[in-house]
A and B are shown apart, each in its own frame.
Chain A
């Protein structure tokens, strides 16, 4: 017989609260008039703050982190999960701050954006805490389904519909690949539980072609979701086509969840096949860095440019992951967390420059930003420098940590390739800075922006700088998460 205590519900408190919150927002929103949508917004933000508090309550006894299981081993909580959950909730809350005026200007300030955003967040938290292939897949589908709907959310926009369609079809194929891979692993090990799979794989001897076959499919599915070359086709179209607030959502928090997916599926369960997936990841990483950085040079659309920049950053994250040791994983985690922060700042600036009937998504819209608003030009400068990896911003430390991990596993050539492509990448980052500081503004209109967004965006940009000056605290958390 099993009892309710055996489910160990208390450690899944943040998830349960978030689910209740999303359902409450869904119901409350129905009774609101269009002029009262701010209530939906405020309720979502309040709920996210409470979720953050609940996550921070999840500290273990005696400050000793252990893997705590719940729901019969389908759910796990450890330091890694707590830190990543904290990050995704924070990122989504900031995206919501950025989104309000943009949505109002376009007459799409509707409750569904927040409801779907919260459900997507729940999906990410489920993925981060997954200790079972089943919960990982369900979390992924919950996230993806919310994202597909959010991309198509602006129904008047044909670009958004096209992007949503592409995203949906490719995402469904990727999910199918992932499931097929999981089914192969299940067939060989007889378990879907990540820890049990790892134990079963450790006991196996010799090469097992079925497991490698399953592993290939799993890696393909994961790369699709992360957007590594050659499975990156959807990224530029989706980033370009969706409303910019939705782009800022897709480009940030789901990357953290994707990182958790790689750790749980490849590092924790398929750890004994590390040599096999390392080879695949080297190819993915090199191609991502090459294609991302080279094609970004040709882009004139800012959202597409950031999309290709994302692809190249995914390549860097993979560099850390393929190292396959504690150093590599913590470097990749540091890179993921800081990259999402920079990416959020970049899209924040684009949202800042938009106004009613005008999308500031052309690279020329940044011209002379320094004359229009020196402060936000400075914030963008920090963000762009950080993406390029220029000290003293945090992007430099992230790149350094990842490269160090690669060099320490005796793959100097890979580190050199990475440096080579990031130097190519600096070209288009510098072009953005040139446009902001050395060109005259064509469009001299006032930047109108609400106070909360100004504060959030400034904090966002300054945190990139502060983390660059004092990276040790975050770095030590990342190292502790994998010890």
Chain B
């Protein structure tokens, strides 16, 4: 086994194990951390494919930003794990059977028979002067400008949707208006009532 293969198998095993951890971990926070590990292993495999830019973006954007945000959300939510797991045992056999069926099918199809070196020649390795970033940039704003712009529209819709669904003006919330507070005069708040003084005798009657 070459060094290349050792790295590949090490990281792909790590990725599969971590992905299993995401779905099987009891604690949602652990799930998120496993997902970070999955992304990390994925980016290592992308490095082997000479997709350096994508690998670094995956770590920076997904691991660095998205997953940290995700972690915050998971920690903020009050998730009732026991209630979530109620139906689990009932559906588990069915789910596992379907999963095994799918895996067997995938192994049969996406195996070396159809995607091996006989079917596809190994891609050429690029030299040291090859820049993955430059190659991506060259097609992203020319050949794929339409897809790129559409992706930006999707992000815009995501923002609009998120704000629509979460921003609410509650009419009954109590909050301070500092300007109004400062303007208050003594006569607005204080009412001096002129009343007769009461004596103890009157109370006894």
Contacts and interface: CB of A to CB of B under 8 A. Distances in A.
A72 B161 contact: no
Contacts of A184: 109-110
Contact of A71 (B145, B153, B168): B145
A122 B142 CA distance: 22
A112 B164 contact: yes
Interface residues of A, number: 36
Which 6 pairs show the lowest CB-CB distances between chains A and B? Answer: A149-B161, A71-B146, A138-B150, A112-B164, A74-B146, A213-B109
Interface in A102-130: 110, 112, 115-116, 119, 122, 126
A283 B5 CA distance: 44
A74 B161 contact: no
Interface in A403-434: none
B160 interface: yes
B145 A119 contact: no
Contacts of A119: 153, 156-157, 160
Nearest to B105: A213
B13 interface: no
A187 interface: yes
Contact of B150 (A139, A149, A187): A139
Interface stretch (A53-61, A90-98, A140-148, A361-369): A140-148
Given A116-B161, A145-B157, A146-B157, A2 B147 contact: no
Interface of B: 105, 108-110, 114-115, 142-147, 150-151, 153-154, 156-158, 160-161, 164-165, 168
Contacts of A142: 150, 153-154, 157
B156 to A, nearest CB: 8
Nearest to A153: B164
B144 A134 contact: yes
Given A71-B146, A74-B144, A134-B144, A149 B160 contact: yes
A209 B115 CA distance: 11
Name, among B105, B156, B157, B160, the residue most crowded by chain A CB atoms within 10 Å (CB to CB): B157
Contacts of B144: 72, 74, 134
A72 B143 contact: yes
B161 A145 contact: yes
A19 interface: yes
